[in-house]
Every structure is written in structure tokens, then in C-alpha cells.
């Protein structure tokens, strides 16, 4: 006879889409036993009799997935760039807009003029929309301040958001996002400021969990990025990279050389980039929202990622210029329809692979004993429906750290 085990809460009455090993791995008529903030058991409901729970919840059908992870966003910023969206639709290129002082730099001006309270308030609205769709973990980057005080204020805003919402918020310092107007002729000086002044303050104040950079002809060269990454490494901060979005500069291989958590965008990644990423374990974060809005035609090499076994994550890239996307579920569909991912790969991309891109796969991203109890109940019959339905908000019940939010 099995020994009885206690648990605080038994959740049952739905099919459990565990996403173990990045696959659906569905447990029909399953149950999840939770103690404190952790999952202690997942299995068929008929085997749940070994538990004596303090509370029980019957979902009454449907499916349960891990909490969704949005591993690449720029949710904190000032101002609005809908006018640039209109310009692009009228034939003006992203490069031309940037050269005329628009693009990232127009958001920089608005962000510098915003107070900490204004940054938190405007970002909170956007964040709440994301969370309503079953997102339980969000990464948010700085990068629109491009001066020490404004970058620190953005990171402080991200930390404040993390204290306000029932979700895990990870902060990334992206001071190497664009060359500030003050350093237009001397970009190396801004790189030096980042390395010698800004990053030590960020590390000392524990304001960021990682450091990112934009390696592109519009932004920073591989040599400049390498300086930023060396400084981050010396401070014990992991790195990520915006790489190969608009051109091929070897950014994927550069990220791999520093054992980056992820390289993101990757439309122009080469086979050598991908081989290097496979060796380092660097996750490929695909961002179909920007691809869609910029009307790009060069797709990321999904077949090569599969061939080399590079994990693929998906994210919203929510930002004011190139991906004003506030639906991670829409990105699931775009990942499939625009990039050729399967629904199973797409769902893994916003669960286990998204967690992996943040260095959190040991505690998040799949429904397994020992992991945190972040999961979502959907009144659906199969996981592919999460990818299939366009628009609207699917009703869902979100459990974060074992408690319904």
C-alpha cells in the first residue's frame, strides 16, 4: 500500500501539457500536486490518491500548460511612434527614418523626458495586457535612455514593475542599443562609458540580470560589442545579443563565444553562426513581430536550427518602433505561419525554450516535480488551439507560484 503524502493543493480535471524536453508530453486526465510554490508531483489523476491535499481544484476539462515566458521585450519607454509606422507604410525605410533622427532616437528623447513614475505607469499598462494572456515570466530591457541617469532610471522602473505584479520580471541592461546623439561621431566613447561607468553601477545596485547589445550596421560593431561583453563578464553578468537582424556580421558566433544565454532575431544567421550556437548552448530567440511589421523577406534559418539542435524560443519583442506587439499568443501563430515552426516548437518557444533563454530552465518552462508552480488552464481541447486562434483573448486561469492570480 502506498504511503500517503501531504500537499497544499491538488489541481486536476484537465489534460496536462507538460512540455517536458520541449515536447507536448501530454498526460491525459492529469493532476498537479503543489506544495508551497513548487510542483511536487505531476501524473494521471487516477494515481493522485497518494496525496492528502489541503485544497483541491477541479478544472472541469480543458488543458493546462506551463506559464508562458516572454523572453525578449522593451516594455519600458516614453512616447509613441505610430507616426513612424505610418511613414513606413508610405514607403520610408527603417534606415531612412533612423537617419532623419527617428527610430530608436525619437524614443530616447521621450524616455529621457519621462519620470520614473511615468515610465512605470505606462509600462504597467502594456505589461498587464501581456500577463492577461497567460504570461508568468517577462524579460524587459533598458536601452532607450542612452545616458547613465536615464538607463539607471529605466532599470529601476523594471525592478519596480517586478514588485507590483504577480509575475517574474527579469531586467536586462541594453545600453548598447544605439549610439546616443551626443556620441554620434565618437561611438567608442559611449562604449567606454557603458563599460567603465554604467555597468559597474548596474551590477553594484543589482539592477539587471543580464547585459544585451545590438550588433548591427545601424548600431554597434562586433568589436564594440565584445568590449561590452568583456565588461559584463568581469562583473559576473550573463550576456544576450541582438544579432543578424538586418545583415550578417557574425553576431551569432560572437554571442556563442561568450556563452550568451541567447542570440535574438537571427534572420541573417549563417551556418557557422548556428554551429557555434549549438556548441555553446546559446538559444535562438525568434521575433516574428518585427519581421512582420518591417515587412522583411529574409526568414531565420529554422531548418538549420533544427539540424544543429539549437533550441528556438519565441518572444513578442514588444517595443514602440518595430514590434508594438502585446500578444505573445499571436507570436505563436506568426512563428508557425511566417517562420515555418510547428505548433509544438512554437509552444516550447514560449515555455521551456523561453525559460532557457533567460537562464531559468531549471525552475521554469515545463511542468515537472521540483519546478515552480507557474501554469495556465485553458478551456481548449488541444495545445495547437493556442496557435490556431487569431485575435481576441482566450479565457484562462493563471496560477503563479501555486496561487491563482
Specify the pTM: 0.96
Distances (CA, A) of 349 to 79, 96, 260, 353, 354: 30, 33, 17, 5, 5
The separation between CA 376 and the C-alpha centre of its own chain, rounded to angstroms, equals 18
> Average pLDDT per run of 10 along the chain, which is 405 residues long?
84 98 98 97 96 96 98 96 86 80 86 98 98 98 98 98 98 97 96 98 98 96 98 98 96 98 98 98 98 94 98 98 94 98 98 98 98 98 96 91 96
pLDDT at 391: 80
Distances (CA, A) of 261 to 46, 95, 244, 247, 311: 39, 28, 16, 21, 11
Other C-beta atoms closer than 10 Å to the C-beta of 227 total 18
Residue 379: what are its φ and ψ, rounded to 5°?
Answer: -80, 60
Q: Is 317 annotated as a binding residue?
A: yes
Domains and CATH numbers, the chain: 5-67+366-404 (2.30.40.10), 68-357 (3.20.20.140)
What is the rounded CA–CA span in Å between residue 43 and residue 367?
A: 10
pLDDT at 2: 60
Q: Is 321 annotated as a binding residue?
A: yes
Q: Is 221 annotated as a binding residue?
A: no
pLDDT at 104: 81
For the residues of 40-68, what is the DSSP string, one character each? EEEEEGGGGGGEEEEEEEE--SSEEEEPE
pLDDT at 392: 81
Closest CA to 70 of 278, 364, 405, 395: 364
Q: Is 18 annotated as a binding residue?
A: no
Write down how long the chain is: 405
Q: Is 245 annotated as a binding residue?
A: yes
What is the rounded CA–CA span in Å between residue 386 and residue 393?
A: 11
The 8-class DSSP code of residue 14 comes to: E
Q: Is 265 annotated as a binding residue?
A: no
User: Which helix (H) or strand (E) covers residue 384, if one does?
Assistant: helix 384-388
Q: Is 83 annotated as a binding residue?
A: no
Q: Is 24 annotated as a binding residue?
A: no
Beta-bridge mates of residue 173: 211
371 — alpha (psi -120 to 50), left (phi > 0) or beta?
beta
Please tell me the chain's helix, strand, coil percentages from 3-state DSSP, rounded to the nearest 5.
Answer: 40, 25, 40
CB 150 within 8 A of CB 117: no
Residue 220: what are its φ and ψ, rounded to 5°?
Answer: -125, 145
For the residues of 63-126, what is the DSSP string, one character each? EEEEPEEE--------S--HHHHHHHHTT--HHHHHHTT-THHHHHHHHHTS-HHHHHHHHHHH
CB 215 within 8 A of CB 243: yes
Q: Is 177 annotated as a binding residue?
A: yes
End-to-end Cα spacing for the chain:
37
Amino acid at each position: 500500500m502506498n504511503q500517503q503524502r501531504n500537499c497544499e493543493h491538488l489541481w486536476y480535471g484537465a489534460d496536462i501539457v507538460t512540455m517536458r524536453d520541449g515536447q507536448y508530453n501530454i498526460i491525459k486526465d492529469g493532476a498537479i500536486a503543489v506544495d508551497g510554490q513548487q510542483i511536487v508531483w505531476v501524473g494521471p489523476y487516477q494515481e493522485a490518491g497518494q496525496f492528502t491535499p489541503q485544497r483541491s481544484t477541479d478544472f472541469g476539462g480543458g488543458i493546462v500548460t506551463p506559464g508562458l515566458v516572454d523572453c525578449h521585450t522593451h516594455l519600458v519607454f516614453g512616447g509613441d511612434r505610430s507616426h513612424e509606422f505610418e511613414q513606413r507604410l508610405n514607403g520610408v525605410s527603417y534606415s531612412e527614418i533612423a537617419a532623419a533622427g527617428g527610430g530608436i532616437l525619437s524614443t530616447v528623447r521621450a524616455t529621457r523626458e519621462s519620470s520614473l513614475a511615468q515610465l512605470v505607469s505606462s509600462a504597467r499598462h502594456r505589461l498587464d495586457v501581456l500577463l492577461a494572456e497567460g504570461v508568468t515570466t517577462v524579460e524587459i530591457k533598458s536601452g532607450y535612455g542612452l545616458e547613465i541617469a536615464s538607463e539607471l532610471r529605466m532599470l529601476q522602473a523594471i525592478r519596480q514593475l517586478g514588485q507590483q505584479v504577480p509575475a517574474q520580471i527579469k531586467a536586462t541592461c541594453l545600453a548598447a542599443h544605439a549610439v546616443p546623439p551626443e556620441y554620434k561621431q565618437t561611438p567608442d566613447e559611449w562604449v567606454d562609458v557603458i563599460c567603465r561607468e554604467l555597468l559597474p553601477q548596474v551590477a553594484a545596485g543589482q539592477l539587471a540580470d543580464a547585459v544585451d547589445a545590438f550588433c548591427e550596421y545601424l548600431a554597434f560593431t562586433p568589436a564594440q560589442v565584445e568590449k561590452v561583453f568583456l565588461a559584463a563578464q568581469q562583473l559576473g553578468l550573463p550576456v544576450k545579443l541582438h544579432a543578424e537582424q538586418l545583415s550578417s556580421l557574425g553576431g551569432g558566433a560572437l554571442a556563442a563565444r561568450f556563452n550568451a544565454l541567447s542570440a535574438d532575431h537571427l534572420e541573417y544567421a549563417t551556418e557557422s553562426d548556428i554551429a557555434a550556437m549549438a556548441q555553446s548552448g546559446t538559444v535562438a530567440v525568434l521575433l516574428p513581430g518585427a519581421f512582420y511589421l518591417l515587412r522583411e523577406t529574409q526568414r531565420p534559418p529554422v531548418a538549420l536550427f533544427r539540424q544543429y539542435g539549437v533550441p528556438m524560443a519565441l518572444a513578442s519583442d514588444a517595443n514602440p518602433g518595430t514590434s508594438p506587439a502585446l500578444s505573445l499568443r499571436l507570436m505563436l501563430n506568426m512563428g508557425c505561419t511566417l517562420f515555418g515552426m510547428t505548433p509544438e516548437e512554437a509552444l516550447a518557444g514560449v515555455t521551456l525554450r523561453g525559460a532557457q533563454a533567460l537562464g531559468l530552465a531549471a525552475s521554469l518552462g515545463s511542468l515537472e516535480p521540483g519546478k515552480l508552480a507557474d501554469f495556465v488552464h485553458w478551456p481548449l481541447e488541444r495545445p495547437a488551439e493556442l496557435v490556431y486562434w487569431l485575435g481576441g483573448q482566450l479565457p484562462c486561469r493563471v496560477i503563479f507560484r501555486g496561487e491563482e492570480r
